[in-house]
Amino acid sequence: MSQPRRIALLGNPNAGKTALFNALTGARQKIANYPGVTVERKAGRMALPSGEPVELVDLPGAYSLDPASPDEDVTQRVVTGNFPGEAKPDMLVLVIDAGNLEQHLVFAQEVLALGLPTVVALNMVDLAERDGLVLDAKALGEALGVPVIPTVAVRKRGLDALGDALDKANVQDTANRHGVGELTLPERRLAARTMAKGAVISQSAEARLHESLDKVLLNPWAGPIILFGLLFVIFQAVFAWAAPFADALEGLGGLMAQGVAATIPAGFFRDFLTEGVIAGVGSVIVFLPQIVILFAFILVMEASGYMARAAFIMDRLMASVGLSGRSFIPLLSSFACAIPGIMATRAIADPKDRLTTILIAPLMTCSARLPVYAVIIAAVIPEQSVGPGIGLQGLVLFTLYIAGIVGAILVALVLRSTLTAGTASGFIMALPRYQWPRLKDLLIGLWQRAWVFLRRAGTIIFAATVILWLALTFPKAGPGENQLDVSYGGQIASVLHPVFEPVGFNREMTLALVPAMAAREVAVASLATTYAVESEDEDATMAALQAEVAARWSLPTALAFLAWFVFAPQCLSTIAVARRETNGWKWPILMLGYLFALAYITAGITYWAALSLGL
Amino acid sequence: MKDALTLDQLTPHDRAEIIAVAWDDLAQGEGKRLRALGIDEGARIAIAHRGVFAGRDPIALMVGRSLVAIRRVHARAMQVKRI
């Protein structure tokens, strides 16, 4: 046989499907999107005990084969052989949660009715036992008419037996299978109840751990306090813990640049490598530590079952702008960086909710805006107190953050009644039982997120930064000329300047906007270049730049510049990630358009308001 | 029918049986999702938790052995009787 046989893993969400997939395939997984939809396709190889290699596909979680979400639609089409480019699976592993038989057996009957050779993994039997529920897998197998193997995916228990059952499943007799033929949902539910009852050996009083945990974590008073405490820790970690790693990466980039400088003769190629490639890609890779740390927290929250509780607590607040509790964490993450924030929107089941969240994520004030804010505020806002313990500079910074949030709320409301209109997604979801996350699953998840990001940095972001570098390097400046001025980038700025003059931008500012397309903080570096205040010492450069800005910019101009950066989508990586996550250019281009429009209008209003106030 | 007891009027620890659901009041796909999670006419539920903010929304229900979160708008469409 030429192609290895394909086994699809399917089951209800929270059945422990992904853990089982990880346990069976290890880290040898290929992740991609199903064509045309933003649903992740995970595939991996494994060998059955007979030695036969097979391909394992982890299908998206589904409650039913009558699709109500993009995930379910993919699952339904793949198992029925109706997904273009996806061969119909040869065998199925149906994962059901031992602690939730009554519900999961409803879907199980639908799957068995497909008639494909199927082995049932009765997963998380340990958690069920912890909750006082002992089950008879054999009795369940007889009721369903297919082999039922008790497993504990996270402890690798039952995997050999599962493999053996798959080896034998080729020649499965479907005649005595339960549920073949058309059954209605109430009939299936009734059968599920009967089968679930029949499989119970013993069931003790419900002294369940998760109930007592929920009493605290979902307590109307303690719940939000615990959540905000946790968020505080996450924020601290993302900013503080990531700093040494980011510095190390920056240092590494510097060393590489030095190494290149030492081995390659001066000239175009050396500059291309050091200033274009290493500096350009390096400016994106420094975000990797933040992304990894943030995702470590997110993955632990997901795997432990706490994420659903966080969504539960925040749902009401998010509902007031037409979103659901699921959007809270991605938006919060975007305060660190919109890239992991947008990547985290995968947890949002509703496609319109998800799209809205992606579109407003760049409005959260990310850490890359801070250098710009810091320099301009320090230069033009006097260091004075406006109240006990409230400095004017801090107040301005705070206002910029609030402006972003208010902008996001307004944009979400507008989007929800126009482009992403539709009934509020409704917040219907199962709150999974708590469990300890497994280190291995965590590491696999982290590696996948990091890899997605690095591949981005290596391709589209790399290309964009190189093009930008070329535009800023050519043509070469003659003696006494400013390189930035002469370059194609500078020429673009000259063309753009008349556009930006009405909102108070001077030519240097417009010039700074061009390289800042790569990343906002580059604006600071390019202003320093333009004002020729660069020196070896970064702090000295900043101090000199502040002095220049203070001397040359009027207050309305500086305020307009700050307002611009609250909204302007000056981050190629964010646009690239939005393209990946929305599977096309339509939404990223819309995002670019509306953010630039907002930035321009706000900068203009700020400028003219400040002027008329006589500032 | 006006003063029929609906699910959103219950408080934590209340137990009830869903006797009727106004499916038409739910958005497209929501009914399907609710039924898939076992929330349907005839289902016996217990209120486990309610949210923190305005209107104590959302609501967490115990259905069989699983905990399911729904919003108040969904609960309002469900007529229940206490058990």
Mean pLDDT split into 10-residue runs, chain A, 615 residues? 83 87 84 74 90 91 85 91 90 92 89 91 87 88 91 87 88 68 80 87 67 88 91 78 86 88 85 78 76 86 89 89 87 84 82 91 87 84 80 87 92 88 73 86 87 72 75 79 80 90 90 82 76 70 85 92 92 87 91 95 95 87
Determine the Cα–Cα distance for residues A371 and B80; give it in Å rounded to an integer: 57
Comparing CB atoms, the residue among A133, A211, A316 nearest residue B53 is A316
Q: Do B65 and A107 touch (CB under 8 A)?
A: no
Give which of A189, A428, A433 to mutate to test B binding, by max B Cβ within 10 Å: A428
Q: Hey, are the CB atoms on A424 and B40 less than 8 Å from each other?
A: no
A214 in reach of chain B (CB within 8 A)? yes
- Packed helices A306-319 and A288-304: angle between N→C axes, nearest 10 degrees: 100
Q: What are phi and psi of A202, to 5 degrees?
A: -150, 150
The CA distance from B67 to the nearest CA of chain A, in Å, is: 5
Inter-chain residue contact B58 with A102, CB threshold 8 Å:
no
How crowded is the C-beta side of A366, counted as CA atoms within 13 Å?
29
Best of B65, B72, B78 to disrupt the A interface (most A CBs within 10 Å) is B65
Q: What is the dihedral of CA A596, A597, A601, A606, to 10 degrees?
A: -20
pLDDT for position B40: 87
Scan residues 301-320 of A and list those with Cβ closer than 8 Å to B. 308, 311-313, 315-317, 319
Q: Enter the DSSP assignment of A422.
A: S
Residues in chain B: 83
User: Is A428's CB within 8 Å of B68's CB?
Assistant: yes
CA distance A122 to A95: 6
**How remote is the C-alpha of B42 from its chain's centroid?**
12
Nearest-Cα residue of chain B relative to residue A422: B27
Return the pLDDT at B54.
Answer: 67
- Which of A103, A308, A317 is closest, CB to CB, to B38? A103
Query: Which candidate, A143, A532, A461, places its Cα nearest to that of A277?
Result: A461
- The residues near A540 (Cβ < 8 Å, ≥ 6 apart) are none
When CB atoms are compared, the residue of B36, B58, B66 closest to A100 is B66
**pLDDT value at residue A226:** 94
Cβ neighbours for A435, distance < 8 A, ≥ 6 positions apart:
A124, A127, A154, A303, A304, A305
Interchain contact, B36 vs A315, CB within 8 Å? no
Q: Does A428 sit within 8 Å of B37, measured CB to CB?
A: yes
Smallest Cα distance from A64 to chain B, Å: 7
A535 close to A360: Cβ distance less than 8 angstroms: no
Looking at residue B1, what is its pLDDT?
A: 47
Measured between CA atoms, how close is B81 to chain A, in angstroms? 20
Nearest CA in chain A to B57: A316
